[in-house]
Amino acid sequence: MKDFNYYAPTEVVFGERSEEQVAALVKKYGGTKVLVHYGGMSAVRSGLLDKICGLLDEGGVPFVKLGGVVPNPRLSLAREGIELCRREDIDFILAVGGGSVIDSAKCIAYGVCMEGDVWDLYLGKAEAPATMLPVASVLTIPAAGSEMSEASVITNEEGDVKLGYSNNLSRPKFAIMNPRRTFTLPPYQTAAGVTDMMMHTMERYFTLDSDMDLTTDLAEAVLRRMKAAVFDVLKNPEDYRQRAQIMWGGSIAHNGLTGCGIHDDWATHQLEHELSGMFDVTHGAGLAAVWPSWARYVLSDLTDGPAIHATRLSRFVRFAVNVMDVPNDFADPDGTAQKGIEAMERFYHAIGMPINIKELIGRDITDEEIKEMTRKCSRDYTATCGAFKVLKADDMEAIYRMARG
Ligand code: NZQ
Ligand code: ZN
């Protein structure tokens, strides 16, 4: 069994009255002057931004505001935020929003404490920082899991390059989660969010390690619960109970719990980041467009030998039976596995997600675009991705071609 460290230091403050604690929490974690960072209009329209600012005022916590974070958050705004924080002597960043706002906040928090250019961290050119400003969030969309994760993903508009950087320092100090705030999510964002959190679980579930049974059990519980809850909230967006399952599920899916004792994969994520980097699509929808092709490619691969193929096959069968409710045909494990992938495609369509790139971007992807994504995903043909099946540039290109639709 793989040894592991499990580190999830974020204080989760969950429930209908959770926002009321915001000023006390900022002070508890050492904030004396706050950057309130937010996205487009959703937090303004819902009154959440005003409420949070009012509560900080009442609690005697000075703050400045910086809005305008867009999905697939941009480096240019983070750079603006770094300058603003230095000018205003900010020592704490509060993200009011989703993964994009939280990731932008993390990028700013690194940059303020760095001598050089923050983008060098994402390029892997800078040394890991010794310190950064503390970050916390008031979460408005369960999806990316950034409210508890060590990752941030930033898009540099110059070249449409989307890169992630991970460091335990950036795990947020606290996450305020009020499921009621997610009632206003459009169906597409709700479904893309659930797709993303399920994929965070699946990136860990599809592993060649099989001895940490509890991790696998937990992953299946998360997947089954999210799969059921999403239909309830699409039918009734104000279903507090099911919104709560999804909100907590998004954090559990990406705070490391479903990855203890196993080697995780992340190939679908890396393949997808090139799609959202190039076409500015919603991350969760991009994952749905890639996963079925990744799954079929990996399942049919025989190049790593019969033992590894058998291990992969048994994992796909287990997924089909335990998660997708496919009857187990013991005489035809490959057929059972294939039915699991087909069931996942039906699920994606049922919640309004695409299952290929054509459905995602609304047109045929060109050969040049596939080659460009392959070049970027393989870091100019120098890097592989994935662990369940290690993908080289040729594999990546083949999967993009299968996924074109
Ligand atoms: O900008 P506003 O107006 O707030 O609208 C947002 C945005 O358009 C809207 N929204 C958010 N809360 C809402 C709401 N609309 C109505 N009511 C609400 N309560 O939803 C849209 C999407 O928001 P965004 O923050 O982009 O969503 P998400 O949380 O899915 O974040 C996506 C980003 O996270 C990255 C993705 O690559 C993508 O850039 N990821 C970050 C990870 C991490 N840091 O650990 C891991 C993930 O795998 C992912 O890569
Ligand atoms: Zn994701």
Q: What per-residue string of b and e applies to 265-278 under the rule 16 or more CB within 10 Å gives b?
A: bbbbbbbbbbbbbb
| pLDDT per residue as tens digits for the range 25-80 | 999 999 999 999 999 999 999 999 999 999 999 999 999 999 999 999 999 999 99
Q: Give mean pLDDT, residues 119-139.
A: 97
353 CA distance to ligand 1 middle (Å): 16
Entry pTM: 0.97
Does 159 score more than 90 pLDDT? Answer: no
- CA gap 112, 32 in Å, rounded: 16
Q: Give mean pLDDT, residues 249-269.
A: 97
Mean of the per-residue pLDDT values of the chain: 97
Residue nearest to atom 15 of ligand 1 (CA): 185
Residue nearest to atom 40 of ligand 1 (CA): 144
Q: Is 101 in the pocket of ligand 1 (CB under 6 A)?
A: yes
CA dihedral 200→202→206→209, nearest 10 degrees, is 60
184 CA distance to ligand 1 middle (Å): 14
Q: Is 252 in the pocket of ligand 1 (CB under 6 A)?
A: no
| pLDDT per residue as tens digits for the range 179-202 | 999 999 999 999 999 999 999 999
Q: Is 311 in the pocket of ligand 1 (CB under 6 A)?
A: no
Residue that is written with structure tokens 């039915």 in the block? 339
pLDDT of residue 403: 98
Instruction: Give the position, in ligand 1's atom list, of the atom nearest the Cα of 101.
Output: 25
197 CA distance to ligand 2 middle (Å): 7
Does 293 score more than 90 pLDDT? Answer: yes
pLDDT of residue 160: 86
Does 377 score more than 90 pLDDT? Answer: yes
Q: Is 153 in the pocket of ligand 1 (CB under 6 A)?
A: yes
Q: Give mean pLDDT, residues 116-120.
A: 97
- The closest alpha carbon to 143, from 259, 287, 301, belongs to 287
Residue nearest to atom 1 of ligand 1 (CA): 40
Q: How confident is the model at residue 210 (pLDDT cuts 50, 70, 90)?
A: confident
Q: Is 98 in the pocket of ligand 1 (CB under 6 A)?
A: yes
pLDDT of residue 125: 96
Note the ligand closest to the C-alpha atom of 142: 1
Does 373 score more than 90 pLDDT? Answer: yes
pLDDT of residue 118: 98
| pLDDT per residue as tens digits for the range 140-158 | 999 999 999 999 999 999 9
For the beta carbon of residue 42, count every other beta carbon within 10 angstroms: 20
